[in-house]
């Protein structure tokens, strides 16, 4: 098993857990999440109290560097997608409100 696969397995150590919409303790069954691992991919399926379902996926992958502006991990280059497109409010390229 590769290192990313081992990390994914440890992250999915508890395959079922309750979720609270408020982020606090779960008083009643609001939502439940089920975690599955396939190699270095983690799939999380969330079912809320009325039966609506959502799915999320994460991958455990090594990063090659950090954004020079905000230290977010980047795979290529030295600038993340947000900083690449970001124009500061004080920039002359931003139209000032009167």
| Secondary structure of the chain as H, E, C letters | CCHHHHHHHHHCCCCEEEECCCCCCCCCCCEEEEEEEECCEEEEEEEECCCCEEEEEEECCCCCEECCCCCCEECCCCCCHHHHHCCCCCCCCCCCCC
Q: What is the pTM of this model?
A: 0.51
Answer whether 34's CB lies under 8 Å from 21's CB: no
How confident is the model over 6-26, as pLDDT tens digits? 767 777 777 776 666 665 565
Break the chain into its structural domains and give their ranges. 1-61, 62-92
Q: Residue 70 pLDDT more than 70?
A: yes
Identify the pLDDT of residue 85: 80
Spatial CA neighbour of 66 closest among 56, 58, 55, 77: 77
Indicate the average pLDDT of the chain: 75
Identify the pLDDT of residue 63: 67
């Amino acid at each position: 098993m590769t290192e990313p696969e081992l990390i994914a397995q440890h992250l999915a150590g508890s395959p079922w857990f309750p979720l609270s919409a408020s982020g606090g303790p779960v008083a009643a069954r609001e939502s439940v999440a089920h975690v599955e691992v396939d190699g270095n991919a983690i799939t999380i399926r969330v079912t809320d109290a009325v039966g609506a379902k959502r799915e999320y996926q994460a991958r455990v992958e090594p990063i090659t560097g950090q954004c020079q502006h905000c230290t977010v991990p980047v795979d290529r280059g030295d600038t993340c997608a947000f900083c690449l497109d970001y124009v500061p409010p004080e920039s002359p390229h931003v139209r000032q409100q009167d």
